[in-house]
Amino acid sequence: MTPYNAPLEDMRFVLNHVVGLNEITKLPGFEGIDKNLTDQILEEAGKFSSNILAPLNHIGDTKGA
């Protein structure tokens, strides 16, 4: 089985250049969000996807429904 690696750099690009995370963090209620926090969230989501979700796909691909 080929290991899954979450496209973290692509996700960071979307947050920073498409969504406009810098502008969002200036809104009331979002002041506590910064680059460090979003990087940590993305890293942990990537680990979850690789270690928990990806193996489930392999089972579905080999066994079927």
Domain of residue 30 covers: 8-63
- Segments in the chain below pLDDT 50: none
Tell me how far apart the alpha carbons of residues 18 and 22 are, in angstroms, rounded to a whole number. 11
User: Of 52, 46, 61, 48, nearest to 5 (Cα)?
Assistant: 46
23 domain residue, yes or no = yes
- pTM of the predicted model over 0.85: no
**Residues 6 or more apart in contact with residue 54 via CB below 8 angstroms:** 3, 4
pLDDT at 60: 75
pLDDT digits (tens, 9 = 90+) for 34-45: 989 999 999 999
How many domains does the structure of the chain reveal? Answer: 1
Percent of the chain with pLDDT over 70: 95
15 domain residue, yes or no = yes
